[in-house]
A and B are shown apart, each in its own frame.
Chain A
Amino acid sequence: MDHKEHIDHIRNFSIIAHIDHGKSTLADRMIEKTGLVAERDMKEQYLDNMDLERERGITIKLQTTRLVYKSQSGEEYIFNLIDTPGHVDFNYEVSRSLAACEGAVLVVDATQGVEAQTLANVYLALDEDLEILPVLNKIDLASARPDETKEEIEEMIGLDCENAPLISAKTGQGVDELLERVITDIPAPKGDPDAPLKALIFDSKYDNYLGVIIYARIFDGRVKKGDIIRMMSTGAKYEVTEVGYCAPGLVPTNELFAGEVGYICGSIKQVADARVGDTVTLDQRPCAEALPGYKKVQSMVYCGIYPAEGEKYEAVKDALEKLQVNDAAFRFEPETSQALGYGFRCGFLGLLHMEIIVERLEREFDLAVITTSPSVIYKVVKTDGEVIMLQNPSNLPKPQEIDHIEEPMVKADIMIPNDYVGAIMDLCQKRRGTMLKMEYLTPTRVLLHYDLPLNEVIYDFFDALKSKTRGYGSLEYEFDRYQKSNLVKLDIMLNRDLVDAFSMIVHESNAYQRGRFVCEKLKEVIPMHQFEVPIQAAIGQKIIARETIRAYRKDVIAKCYGGDISRKKKLLEKQKEGKKRMRQFGTVEVPQEAFTAVLKYDENK
């Protein structure tokens, strides 16, 4: 088979969908239908291979797989199914995965219709000029309304849905037809195998034995073991130690050609050296220019991560290093907190990314950590003209040294059923949003375009949106600009000692409310002490809110006879256990959950 004929039988595509619309289930079904994994080995959602992903029903790390499909015409095709992460935090990674494809299967839940994320992903796919094959899923459910959903897709996205396959990824209904449609509707890749190597990194991960595994789409040229490759963004060079296909386990091969998708290893030490979106070429015979679209990812949200009582700083550092090796978007550096001691300031793509990293520290490394209030990066312009990009609220210069502070603003697209417009406009207004545009996508479905401060979005905005729309609302946002704003630092004092880990930067108009909220929350979660504990919120020297935890008055076992001290001892042991989960700030003991409790901010309470 010559190269042309070979790549004519390749289809590179992604499945794009809103969370829960059945992307992973469909991928499972395709894998099963092509016989890659025996049915008995099928785990639910085969491609989501972290426990965390399976639990949360989202894809965090990409997983790519090569399927061999025998078509109804009898010819064999190679399907490279490139999975995409499923959350707004990972948009850039999604766009790079899509750039590796010729087409995308757009899965829309026929019971739910089009959601904001569906739209966002479609736009990303259209940006990459992908052929989009719409598919209506969950057709087996009684509540499915395929005709309405088709209309919606046509109206909102402008895709012709007349022949859209109706499937049930769960039962497998319609999946055979879909596989055939992948062949007919999605174009075969193009590319010159004899041109200089031009390969797109759409994912990379670290492996203890192989070093970094680069997942790449070869656009032009070819690559084999022994080649010296060069990363076009950094110029770094590596000798290729292995190439192969992902099936989804690594299957070594001699050479990867234009049009193919596979992996490349070259003893690369960390994923940051093989960044998603970068172009790989050959050092000896480089291509003229890199593929478009490479961006160095920016952390949007920062927080402090500190070893919990009794945990070792070094152990946390080791774990963060290991996570970083595999996550180019995660960054950290040492910092110290008066309250928490030695720890790390960590940067994330968004809150979900942050939660995932923290959960992985806890689960995979069995470490207990304390995270401080997440913060965006503020641009602080000092009176002397110096500009500070402030990641940690407690490092804010003195008020007299500050000329002004700017905060990051995002453009947010919020899609909701029209019943909830009032509630969401109210929410956005409380979060200092400005509505830019309201679009009726269909008579019952509204797309709100908002200009919102990122710092309002990270405080539980997504959860509030979900709860106010009974789960039907969806959100997309991206960074837009920095904007001058009236921001103040809110400090929290426990028993008159400032606890820097609780400091946060808030808009002046929200400061009182936020201060009250934090004091109330802390009153709920901090246990009584043998003395009264005042909790105060302050801006500078000014106390704006106060609560008091009363001293406990009685905690005694009156009767201690009959010589049965085992029960008494158990009770005391339980108390001691509870104490261990506390963090000592000055004289006050604070439970770990206090740090997350103060983030659960709901303005309706």
Chain B
Amino acid sequence: MSLGIYVHVPFCRSKCPYCDFYSVVNRDEDIKEKFTERLIREIREGSELPWFFRTKPDTLYFGGGTPALLSTSQLERITGTVKDIFGGEELKEVTIEVNPGSTDLQKLKELRSIGFNRLSVGVQSFDDEILRRLGRLHKSQDSFRVMEDAGKAGFDNVSIDLMFGIDGQSFETWETSLHTAIDLRPEHLSLYSLEFQEGTVFTRLLREGRMKETDPEEDRRMYETAHDELERAGYEHYEISNFAEPGCRSMHNMKYWSLQEYLGLGPGAHSYLRREDNGLGQRFYNRPDLKAYLDGTDIRVMSEPNDISDDASEFMITALRLTEGVSKEEFRDLFGVGVWDFFGDVARLQFQSFVQTGHALEDEDRIALTLQGFNVSNRILSIFV
């Protein structure tokens, strides 16, 4: 198994009212330079952790925030340091998130030239009114252009994000966005039902009664329609929110769903690595505090080391997000016993009740959720915590 490396770049031009990923609005070039230097130091210092270097990274993912706000040379220095320290020879997937409207062809070409080979484009919607509601700075035209430019720049692995279940978004608007997306033929799509996260503007508006939650029935209709249409268009619905052309799944994100190691760098980034002594997981994260980070403070917070049941339960609640679910054999390889031996009869019976209602599947080899099960996955996953 190889390592995944995630770099969190916490800068945005403006804060989207639904987003709870850590970012600050800052146009100061000086700060970005300081950030770059600090990040490079973190990568170098990180090598002191005993876990490092056990595996070489095969994925590198720049997320945020808006990582493309860093200059090409800053990005190159960072990727260069990652390769220096962790080794770059096994890197297969190098992704960067970009926004339509703020990324031109020139920038895309530069990104491609310094080794990025996958784009994740924050399209969100092809309806300008919805984009306005979402607080996005771009228009649908920008999305068309960036998709075209991506091709010109030589990207052959592009993912786009779309959102649904937004107050004011009709079913028809959603379907149109969906069709438009399919026509653009990206290799990968992530479709998110709008979630009201603690601390966001949307959540405040919701509490104040100035915004509505989409009726669950309508929300699921949008979701199920997307499933049907994307599958018909040749995409595989491989994770609750993710669709890909065959062979184009996000290698990096797959690590989150299969208990593989990843190292998060930058403020607000999360990591999961295996301890050398017992092979069990150790989670840790950097506090979302740019100022402290730039001051050179150690912002790393270690979680309690996982015991085997933490690992097993985290494996289940992430792997069951995948359409293919959990392979019983893989579970046995990882934890030494069968999945029901591990979780017990009560869990098995509870799971069975979801099998009976068509929300889950179980056969000789695997257990998994159905599309219907995805809709209510929390209920099912909670069996395993």
C-alpha spacing A562/B353, complex, angstroms: 32
A556 touches B262 (CB 8 A): no
A569 proximal to B (CB < 8 A): yes
Question: What are the residues of chain A within 8 A of B264 when measuring CB–CB?
Answer: 562-563
Distance in Å: Cβ of B241 to nearest Cβ of chain A:
5
Interface centre among A558, A560, A568, A572 (most CB of B within 10 A): A558
Interface of B is mostly: mixed
Task: Select one of B6, B21, B63, B376 contacting A556, CB under 8 A.
Answer: B376
C-alpha spacing A562/B359, complex, angstroms: 27
Binds B, one of A277-285, A427-435, A573-581: A573-581
A530 proximal to B (CB < 8 A): yes
A123 proximal to B (CB < 8 A): no
B381 proximal to A (CB < 8 A): yes
Distance in Å: Cβ of B340 to nearest Cβ of chain A:
17
Q: Which positions 299-320 of chain B face chain A at CB distance < 8 Å?
A: 303, 313-314, 317-318
A562 touches B382 (CB 8 A): no
A1 proximal to B (CB < 8 A): no
C-alpha spacing A568/B256, complex, angstroms: 13
A141 proximal to B (CB < 8 A): no
Known contacts A561-B256, A571-B378; A554 and B216 CB within 8 A of each other: yes
Question: What are the residues of chain B within 8 A of A564 when measuring CB–CB?
Answer: 270, 285
Chain B interface residue count: which class? 35 or more
Residue of B nearest to A553 (CB): B216
A555 touches B378 (CB 8 A): yes
A440 proximal to B (CB < 8 A): no
Residue of B nearest to A556 (CB): B377
Interface centre among A552, A569, A573, A587 (most CB of B within 10 A): A569
Interface of A is mostly: loop
B357 touches A531 (CB 8 A): yes
Question: What are the residues of chain B within 8 A of A561 when measuring CB–CB?
Answer: 63, 253, 256
B283 touches A575 (CB 8 A): no
Residue-wise interface mask of B (236-275) relative to A, using a CB-CB cutoff of 8 A (1 in contact, 0 not)? 0000110000000000010011000010100011111000
B378 touches A562 (CB 8 A): no
B321 proximal to A (CB < 8 A): yes
A558 touches B192 (CB 8 A): yes
Residue of A nearest to B191 (CB): A558
Residue of A nearest to B317 (CB): A572
B200 proximal to A (CB < 8 A): no
C-alpha spacing A579/B381, complex, angstroms: 13
B219 touches A554 (CB 8 A): yes
C-alpha spacing A587/B272, complex, angstroms: 38
B375 touches A568 (CB 8 A): no
B220 touches A554 (CB 8 A): yes
Question: What are the residues of chain A within 8 A of B291 when measuring CB–CB?
Answer: none
A573 touches B382 (CB 8 A): yes
Known contacts A553-B216, A563-B264, A568-B317; A530 and B376 CB within 8 A of each other: yes
C-alpha spacing A562/B283, complex, angstroms: 13
Distance in Å: Cβ of A143 to nearest Cβ of chain B:
42
A572 touches B6 (CB 8 A): no
Residue-wise interface mask of A (465-507) relative to B, using a CB-CB cutoff of 8 A (1 in contact, 0 not)? 0000000000000000000000000000000000000000000
B378 touches A557 (CB 8 A): yes
B270 touches A576 (CB 8 A): no
B152 proximal to A (CB < 8 A): no
Known contacts A569-B314, A569-B385, A579-B382; A556 and B270 CB within 8 A of each other: no
A566 proximal to B (CB < 8 A): yes
Distance in Å: Cβ of A551 to nearest Cβ of chain B:
9
A559 touches B378 (CB 8 A): no
B385 touches A556 (CB 8 A): no
A288 proximal to B (CB < 8 A): no
C-alpha spacing A531/B191, complex, angstroms: 26
Task: Select one of A554, A563, A576 contacting B272, CB under 8 A.
Answer: A563
Known contacts A530-B354, A571-B378, A572-B385; A563 and B6 CB within 8 A of each other: yes
B220 touches A553 (CB 8 A): yes
Known contacts A554-B216, A559-B241; A566 and B378 CB within 8 A of each other: no
Task: Select one of B219, B262, B303, B313 contacting A566, CB under 8 A.
Answer: B303
Distance in Å: Cβ of A559 to nearest Cβ of chain B:
6
Residue-wise interface mask of A (528-565) relative to B, using a CB-CB cutoff of 8 A (1 in contact, 0 not)? 00110000000000000000000011111111111111
Task: Select one of B21, B354, B385 contacting A562, CB under 8 A.
Answer: B21
C-alpha spacing A554/B63, complex, angstroms: 28
A566 touches B354 (CB 8 A): no
B220 touches A562 (CB 8 A): no
B379 proximal to A (CB < 8 A): yes
Known contacts A553-B217, A572-B378; A560 and B193 CB within 8 A of each other: no
The interface of chain A, by Cβ under 8 A from chain B, is: 530-531, 552-566, 568-569, 571-573, 575-576, 579, 587
Q: A563-B271, A575-B379 are in contact. List 12 more A-B contacts (CB 8 A).
A: A530-B354, A530-B359, A530-B376, A553-B220, A554-B219, A557-B240, A557-B377, A560-B256, A560-B257, A561-B256, A564-B285, A576-B382
Q: What are 19 A-B contacts defined by CB distance under 8 Å?
A: A530-B353, A530-B354, A552-B216, A554-B216, A554-B220, A554-B375, A556-B193, A556-B377, A557-B377, A563-B262, A563-B264, A565-B256, A565-B270, A572-B317, A572-B381, A572-B384, A576-B383, A579-B382, A587-B353
Q: Which 7 residue pairs spanning A and B have beta carbons closest together?
A: A554-B216, A563-B270, A575-B382, A553-B216, A572-B382, A555-B378, A558-B193
